[in-house]
Amino acid sequence: MRVVIADDHPLFLEGVAAILDAEPGIDVVGRANTADDAKRVCADQQPDLVIMDVDMPGDSIAAVQTIRDVSPASKVVMLTVSQDTHHIFSALKAGAHGYVVKGVGSRELVRILRAVYEGESYVSPALAGDILSDMARTLPLQFSADERLEQLTEREKVILRLLAEGRSNREIGQELYLTEKTIKQYVTAILQKLHVRNRVEAASLAYRAGLANHEPS
């Protein structure tokens, strides 16, 4: 996993870089202190994963979209102190695959980054309830939630319900006695059928349709 880290606090940046460089299979290939620097480094390095602060010089949210354009294979994870739902929603809408609040432990951070690298999306649990509620109110739907859910098989609806409860692919697989790889394939199909970009939007749609009856704690 080739990683670029963008943060305007040098001490924090170097600390994260040291943690990741010590992990097998992870190589920090670039650092940036501004949004513009992040775009240039990503265009040059074509990393697998980009870790970026939402609050640093320049427009970090716009940089997410630019990075997706100049380095299409890169997955962006926002690592920040901001818990503003507008920042979260904007980052996910721009194409970020994760939103993590600073203060997360080093082991948990590595676990999250590996999960995102493998194709999952992530929002810190403390923020998930707020962002799901916000997205349920504002997510534009070409068709109603019920109409979209009609495209799913019964097995896919079960997986969507578990996903909306905050379960990981591994946990869903254990619940249904299926492999994690099989669940990942189901989730990909669900996102395509619902015409949503990530697990958060899928969960929001499930809430709108009443498939999930209560928010994760």
Please indicate, yes or no, whether residues 76 and 161 belong to a single structural domain of this protein. Answer: no
* pLDDT score of 129: 63
* pLDDT score of 138: 52
Q: What is the DSSP letter of 124?
A: -
* pLDDT score of 209: 76
Q: Within 10 A of 126 (CB to CB), how many other CB atoms are there? A: 10
- Greater confidence (172 vs 133) lies with 172
Which CATH number characterizes residue 188's domain?
Answer: 1.10.10.10
Question: Model's pTM, two decimal places?
Answer: 0.62
Identify the residue whose tokens are 């432990």. 105
CA atoms within 13 A on the CB side of 88: 26
pLDDT, tens digit, for every residue of 5-14?
999 999 999 9
Provide the number of structural domains found in the chain: 2
Residues written for the chain: 217
Is residue 128, in this structure, part of any structural domain at all? no
Q: Within 10 A of 132 (CB to CB), how many other CB atoms are there? A: 24
pLDDT, tens digit, for every residue of 206-217?
887 777 664 433
CA atoms within 13 A on the CB side of 34: 5
Which CATH number characterizes residue 63's domain?
Answer: 3.40.50.2300
With a CB cutoff of 8 Å and minimum separation 6, the contacts of 63 are 6, 35, 36, 38, 39, 52
Q: Which of 92, 123, 154 is the last residue of a domain?
A: 123
Please indicate, yes or no, whether residues 52 and 149 belong to a single structural domain of this protein. Answer: no
Please indicate, yes or no, whether residues 113 and 146 belong to a single structural domain of this protein. Answer: no
Please indicate, yes or no, whether residues 199 and 148 belong to a single structural domain of this protein. Answer: yes
pLDDT, tens digit, for every residue of 26-74?
999 999 999 999 999 999 999 999 999 988 898 899 999 899 889 988 9
Is residue 130, in this structure, part of any structural domain at all? no
For residue 190, give its domain range.
Answer: 141-209
